[in-house]
Structure 1
């Protein structure tokens, strides 16, 4: 695999939500109320307490937050942890993002994994085909979880791939005093085009996936959670909703570059 430039997000998902519908845009200086979902101006005729520009955005925001939900599995809180998730272009698939302005070819997975090992807990998405090669780069002790997303209907001479592995390590164990605590390393959740997600990119993960990753790592709202390949920003949105259900604001401002491809990757 040819290694090219590798960079992480300029800001991580653990930072406070950017700005709500009542604050001016830092990029355009627009002082109009901006939609908390798509970050477009809210119509002047809308209610004074409106935070979304349309019913479509309001419903999308509500569904997203409801799917992410609030922390549920009891964990032993201890000290705050530094957690991270990486969803780079899968090996051999970086060409799918060649039209993005920051395209840099294949991601250097060895460098990426070395960076991830500096966290208290981390998760890394990859493809079933690339799993053996990526696992060979990982440190001892990693585990592999499975997201069963369903197949993509198409003619095929060989069995269609219907799942994606998530390599994970570290994190926080369940609370030993909670006998009902349950977490699973398998998620069954179909995927459909997220047409309501602003700035969506190929490979964007649904809100249920983000919540599952939080549970895999035993994340709590007091932790920091770095999304190293933010893409459309849905993992950041999900972390915001997980920590504070009242905030599911847009994570990328108008005019910011699309953090994609070999340098910055894809993510929800």
Structure 2
């Protein structure tokens, strides 16, 4: 049985992976898919791919494209979530900042350098016509670190996926002042070039199992209740999120990758746009 080490965020998007593991779907194809949670997100997964700690990552589109441009020896093997990611822009509940315009010139909490939370801070600044050269960051590691940083005023705002942070808004830890959706599909599956070279058939089987699950996911009996219970979400929030979310079973398009590269290049986050981007399948 072939072992494939997969990393991803501990968020609701990745339920299809967990159901495939729990229900023995991967084992039926003689695959041992090991899962590792990365609560600190894309930057940590890119590092793990580079270091050979994982073989595959379910990772933010803009994050892996930026890191491949910087030399990460990995390739996108499939689009995973075709819909945009809706980032909430949060402040501490008792913060004096009431509107996104007031956050110009303040410090953003980010999980780490090169993370999705950092990249989207640049995208948001561009949307708001702020000077991106004046952006300031406080590295906090994960959501718990962000809570502490905002409460201690070491940072003034934090961008993270809207529904993941909704319980912290509901319980009065955070206050959301705005949203910032990605202008592209939000998650892809990436694998290291070394693993691809030696395990093409196994990767095809893994994606086949995953895609079969994601195609039928929304029709699964009581799926809304399963999501709500597992991820500590209100049922009405899960229903809204499911209506907004589309799982993909295709490779990401060249047009989508070009859109991401154009944005990253315009923000001076990559030095050049790759003409022959690294895809697989």
Same fold, TM-score > 0.5, yes or no: no
Which has more helix, going by share of residues? Answer: 2
TM-score category (smaller protein): under 0.3
**Normalized against structure 1, the TM-score is what?**
0.23
More RCO (CA 8 Å, sep 6+): 1
Which has more strand, going by share of residues? Answer: 2
**Normalized against structure 2, the TM-score is what?**
0.23
